[in-house]
Amino acid sequence: LPDGEHQFRITGSDRLSNPSAMTLQAEKVSEIFVIDNSSPEISEVRFKNENQKLVAEFEAKDQFSRLKEARYSVNAGAWELLYPTDGVADQKNESFRLVLPENSRNQVLALKVVDVNGNPGFHKIKVTL
């Protein structure tokens, strides 16, 4: 099934094994459920100087599911946890603000955002300003 909201309808009938006057039929419709195999999208990263600190800002969004976590890495270092600007990853769209380490200029910043279904989205950019 493609990504999106879906609903199943199941119909059972004994029409093939009974005379037409005696047949029974039942139908059950499932609750709506979501299939989400798509990765979250990460916007272009904006860099700026703020109080002599290098700051990166970006947004992340997922079409069907809320975001669960975000992480960043500088120059393929360890992944560090990053909270959204509102403090909690609980929406389909979140904004992020990251004060980068001082030695980050001209390095590679990797971003990873994961939705509640475990689908990761990645973005990589050279730190410039």
Give the DSSP per-residue string, 46-74: EEEEETTEEEEEEEEE-SSS-EEEEEEEE
Residues 88 and 111 in one domain: yes
Residues 91 and 48 in one domain: yes
Question: Structural domain of residue 90, as residue ranges?
Answer: 41-126
Number of domains the chain is built from: 2
CA–CA separation, 68 vs 119, rounded Å? 10
Name 70's bridge partners: 82, 113
Residues 90 and 120 in one domain: yes
Residues 84 and 103 in one domain: yes
Q: Residues near 87 by Cβ (< 8 Å), separated by ≥ 6?
A: none
Q: 0.75 exceeded by the pTM?
A: yes
Residues 25 and 54 in one domain: no
Tens digits of pLDDT across the chain (129 residues): 999 999 999 999 999 999 999 999 999 999 999 999 999 999 999 999 998 889 999 999 999 999 999 999 999 999 999 999 999 999 999 999 999 988 888 899 999 999 999 999 999 999 987
Q: Residues near 37 by Cβ (< 8 Å), separated by ≥ 6?
A: 3, 117, 119
Name 87's bridge partners: none
Residues 20 and 56 in one domain: no
